[in-house]
Structure 1
Amino acid sequence: MNSNKNEIRSKLALLQLATELGSISKACDIMGYSRDSYYRFKKQYEEAGERGLKNLSRKKPALKNRVSQEVEDQVIEIALDYPNYGQAKAAELLTARGCTISASGVRTIWVRHNLETKKNRLVALNSHLRQQNQLSFKSQHDMEQLYKLEQNETALDCKYPGDVCVQDTFSIGVVEPIGQLFQHTFIDAYSQYAIAIVTDNKESATAAEFLSTTVMPWYQEHKIPINSLLTDRGAEFSGKQSAAPFKQLLEQTEINHIQMRAYNGPVVNGLAARFQQLAYDEFYAPFLKNHRITDIEELNTQLQKWLNRYNHQYAIAGRYTLGKTAVEVLALSKHLLT
């Protein structure tokens, strides 16, 4: 954070010094930059202000260490076919099939899809079979009893879309000339379908309005009931007085309110935080670096375009999604709502 601020100050100093000296070459010599860098910084500053001078993270996923999609699909298949097998046994079976992968490689993929424990693999198997309409609720109950999956341990496990959802408020930061901006986020924990908007505040009334006017109409249109809503203990969700509008809305709509830190949830573990970090890295940071935004609606329009790509095109890791897109999971799970 501090290194980024220092880098921005250094670039601003170069632009200012060139103006004061009336010579780009002298300013570049003094500051240790090339003329090409000066013109690049000048263009970035003119297009997006100080935010345009911020260096984006150069960290990229180590794709060379990632297995192919075909291998990943086989590892997930083994987890569902043999949920009692550990990573070593699964790797041995895969190798026998001609798919060479180490036990640690199997575990890496299982962790990415939340399949690292026997319980999680059984829950994923239940979900997969029900998506394929091959497992009734009674069969599911029998399987849970067989493997001693107690209900109090799986209270937040999702049975279908809308069963457990997550709402959170994310600080985007100060965007000149608008000011401080926030993203209100709503995610279905089963399919990981996301809905979000940008506002200039995080008050309870705004969170309630987002839920009632943006989220609920979409769920009603797709005939998906919202059963439980998980939030953290932010003032907009849980304050005795500050959260009154949000609490009243949930009472009126009879939505069960689960208040806890998102990272404490056994299923939605950090779900909102992971999605919001993805949104910042892949949408906000590059977009705001290259564009000067003068009103919130303009930013919201671009956010909705990115959300459409996320929901329709992003392969999502998770024990319910298993590498499918959010829209694909919703389509596969539609019959579970009837």
Structure 2
Amino acid sequence: MPLLRILTDRGTEYNGHKESHAYELYLNLEDIEHTKTKAYSPQTNGICERFHKTMKTECYDILFRRKIYTQLSEIQNDIEQWLEFYNRERAHSGKYCYGKTPWQTWNDAKGLVKEYQLENLFCLSDTHFVKMKADE
């Protein structure tokens, strides 16, 4: 059973033969399962689709109205600034954020994630381990 699972759309950057594609080789080496969403079904990839729409309306549409870019590095810098704002300052009303920023949600969840990691199972106190066995 893989430790991680990644879900992608069926975009061309992820296609290729499993044995030869660098992306697939990396996933295999890291024991990460790769599953793909159903083709032509954006509702199965809704979080990404919503992010793309938000990025278009709140970032690209505004940036391209304000400035004429002459170098790729200029737009890259402005996008990175927007992503920093999006992740650390802009409150979200999504499924897991409940009005917090993604950064706050991530930090709040780190403790929960550590509790469920298999590596930490053997670091738990004996009393917690005995309680877990009793609950089974």
TM normalised by structure 1 equals 0.30
Aligned positions of 1:48-197 closer than 5 A: none
Aligned to 1:253: 30
Could you list the per-position Cα deviations for residues 83-126 of structure 1 after superposition, in whole angstroms to 9, with x for gaps in the alignment?
A: xxxxxxxxxxxxxxxxxxxxxxxxxxxxxxxxxxxxxxxxxxxx
Correspondence for 1:311 among 77, 81, 87: 87
Q: 2 CA distance for matches of 1:260 and 1:227?
A: 16
Aligned to 1:233: 10
Correspondence for 1:288 among 64, 80, 91: 64
Secondary structure in 1 matching 2:35: strand
Q: 2 CA distance for matches of 1:247 and 1:292?
A: 38
Q: 2 CA distance for matches of 1:284 and 1:307?
A: 12
Q: State the AA in 2 paired with 1:263.
A: P
Secondary structure in 1 matching 2:34: strand
Cα displacement (A) at 1:264: 4.9
Secondary structure in 1 matching 2:91: coil
Higher Cα radius of gyration = 1
Q: 2 CA distance for matches of 1:296 and 1:244?
A: 28
Cα displacement (A) at 1:278: 0.8
Cα displacement (A) at 1:270: 1.0
Change (3 A) 1:321 1:282: same
Aligned to 2:51: 275
Cα displacement (A) at 1:245: 2.0
Q: 1 CA distance for matches of 2:47 and 2:95?
A: 13
Identity %: 28
Q: 2 CA distance for matches of 1:327 and 1:314?
A: 10
Change (3 A) 1:280 1:264: closer
Secondary structure in 1 matching 2:69: coil
Aligned to 1:324: 100
Aligned positions of 1:42-53 closer than 5 A: none
Q: Larger relative contact order (C-alpha < 8 A, sep ≥ 6)? A: 1
Which structure is higher in helix share? 2
Cα displacement (A) at 1:289: 2.2
Cα displacement (A) at 1:227: 1.9
Q: State the AA in 2 paired with 1:294.
A: T
Change (3 A) 1:264 1:279: closer
Q: 5+ unaligned residues in a row in structure 1: which ranges?
A: 1-225
Q: 1 CA distance for matches of 2:69 and 2:95?
A: 38
Could you list the per-position Cα deviations for residues 280-330 of structure 1 after superposition, in whole angstroms to 9, with x for gaps in the alignment?
A: 111111211221212212111111100011001222223322222101111
Could you list the per-position Cα deviations for residues 235-277 of structure 1 after superposition, in whole angstroms to 9, with x for gaps in the alignment?
A: 2112338x81221221122222121147354xxx411111111
Q: 2 CA distance for matches of 1:320 and 1:281?
A: 22
C-alpha RMSD of the superposition: 2.2
Q: 5+ unaligned residues in a row in structure 2: which ranges?
A: 115-136
Q: 2 CA distance for matches of 1:314 and 1:235?
A: 32
Q: 2 CA distance for matches of 1:230 and 1:307?
A: 22
Q: 2 CA distance for matches of 1:307 and 1:236?
A: 22
Say whether residues 1:263 and 2:39 are aligned partners. Answer: no
Aligned to 2:133: none
